[in-house]
Amino acid sequence: MSTDVRPGIGKIGAGVARVNFAGVSKAFDGTLAVDDLSLEVHDGELLVLLGPSGCGKTTALRMVAGLEDPTGGTVSIGTTVVNDVEPKDRDVAMVFQSYALYPHMTLRKNIEFPLRQQRVPAEERARRADEAAATLGLGDLLDRKPGQLSGGQRQRVALARAIVRDPKVFLMDEPLSNLDATLRIQTRADIVSLQRRLGTTTIYVTHDQVEAMTMGHRIAVMKDGMLQQVAAPQDLYERPANTFVASFLGSPGMNLLPATVVDGALEVDGVGIVLRGAPLRIADGPVTVGVRPESASLTATGIAASVTLVEQLGAETHVICTLVDGTRVVVRQGRKAVRPDLGEAVAIELDPDYLHFFDAATGDRLADDR
């Protein structure tokens, strides 16, 4: 009847399908899995929750689904606080890492299951299941059972079961982690185009920073249950809020070198770094300097180091060097560069236009834009 592609809107509260965490914590007896998380996921946004294993991503997601009760703070969907709302009344669809398909039902039954619970008439149910299946290229598999599918196909069934409901919010917990590399890249693109087309608010959990960078409108980086930074992918890459975010993003991550500021000038390992423009607006003393592997190069003069490993990746080469004080620095070289030998004494030059400065004690970013 209605041509609105998102009839689900308006079921919870009024207004848009945003998700809000306000000071949300979750303690499992002893461990604090999520610690005072405050975060707003905008309507129609794909927000990626990124962080290392055990940092509380799944727990945060499950609190939105209602599968876990927060021990502090409030979770809202739209304008409604959902802390005490049953999972089935939240109008969210979740795609689990293990797909969680119903093994005893055919794909059609699987996809229709949520509609059946909403008492959608049989004809409409069949039509919507067909649509969802067609969207994900599952058309001719509908009479099979999940056991007869490949991992990638199961993954798409799980997605179909989620989109068929037209929910307010999609929750996806590492949905690609069981796929091989090729299929993962393919499905990654599929999910992004699907999300952009449906415009459904989506929280996507992953520990893979490439997935995060390529899929998210914004990325929220977590560590030990605490939110580190929320920003658009490129901002996150260019202006990491602390050393953790700096080293977690990028492959390999940012190099962090102990350095000293003396009268606005920078010294790394006793070597003065020539900075362009104004002197540093950083107080004298120790500082951590961050430099991306692509902003470091091997030259004749610079910071003395020795080569410990050379990784050739085809298009580029990672030269892993060790400074005199033991700090590891990765230098990314293009295809044309001369590759050093293992153990060779080299000198590293840092591109002064792409340096990041962090507090040596706290690791927080210091305000000095370069």
Residues that bind another protein (CB under 8 A): 65-67, 87-88, 90, 92-94, 96-98, 100-104, 113-114, 117-118, 145-148, 161, 165
Give which of another protein, ligand ATP, Mg ion, none residue 65 binds (C-beta under 5 to 8 Å, depending on kind). another protein
Alpha-carbon gap, residue 114 to 81, rounded angstroms: 23
Q: Residue 5 or 67: which CB sits closer to another protein?
A: 67
Give which of Mg ion, another protein, ligand ATP, none residue 354 binds (C-beta under 5 to 8 Å, depending on kind). none
Question: In angstroms, what is the minimal distance from the CB of 87 to ligand ATP?
Answer: 16
Q: Do residues 169 and 17 lie in contact, with contact meaning Cβ atoms separated by under 8 Å?
A: yes
Subset of 15-74 contacting ligand ATP (CB under 6 A) = 28, 31, 33, 51, 53-59
Q: Residue 20 or 59: which CB sits closer to ligand ATP?
A: 59
**CA 70 to the chain's CA centroid:** 22
Q: Residue 129 or 350: which CB sits closer to another protein?
A: 129
Q: Residue 97 or 306: which CB sits closer to ligand ATP?
A: 97
Question: In angstroms, what is the minimal distance from the CB of 165 to Mg ion?
Answer: 23
Question: In angstroms, what is the minimal distance from the CB of 155 to ligand ATP?
Answer: 17
Q: Residue 161 or 356: which CB sits closer to another protein?
A: 161
Among 24, 35, 48, 58, binds Mg ion (CB under 5 A): 58
**CA 368 to the chain's CA centroid:** 26
Question: In angstroms, what is the minimal distance from the CB of 286 to ligand ATP?
Answer: 32
Question: In angstroms, what is the minimal distance from the CB of 31 to ligand ATP?
Answer: 5
Q: Residue 32 or 100: which CB sits closer to another protein?
A: 100
Alpha-carbon gap, residue 88 to 11, rounded angstroms: 12
Give which of another protein, ligand ATP, Mg ion, none residue 331 binds (C-beta under 5 to 8 Å, depending on kind). none
Angstrom distances, CA of residue 144 to CA of 59, 105, 129, 153, 334: 33, 8, 14, 11, 49
Q: Residue 125 or 207: which CB sits closer to ligand ATP?
A: 207
Alpha-carbon gap, residue 64 to 17, rounded angstroms: 12
Hey, which residues does 346 pair with through a beta bridge? Answer: 305
Give which of ligand ATP, Mg ion, another protein, none residue 121 binds (C-beta under 5 to 8 Å, depending on kind). none
Alpha-carbon gap, residue 58 to 111, rounded angstroms: 24
Give every strand in the sheet of 80-81, ordered side by side.
31-41, 19-28, 72-77, 80-81
Give which of Mg ion, another protein, ligand ATP, none residue 146 binds (C-beta under 5 to 8 Å, depending on kind). another protein
Residue 44 token pair: 């129609």
Does the protein bind Mg ion through residue 333 (CB under 5 A)? no
Q: Residue 30 or 147: which CB sits closer to another protein?
A: 147
Subset of 196-215 contacting ligand ATP (CB under 6 A) = 207
Question: In angstroms, what is the minimal distance from the CB of 34 to ligand ATP?
Answer: 7
Contacts 24+ apart (CB under 8 A), 79-84: 79/13, 79/14, 79/15, 80/12, 80/13, 82/12
Query: Which residue ranges make up the site for Mg ion (CB under 5 A)?
Result: 58
Binding residues for ligand ATP (CB under 6 A): 28, 31, 33, 51, 53-59, 207
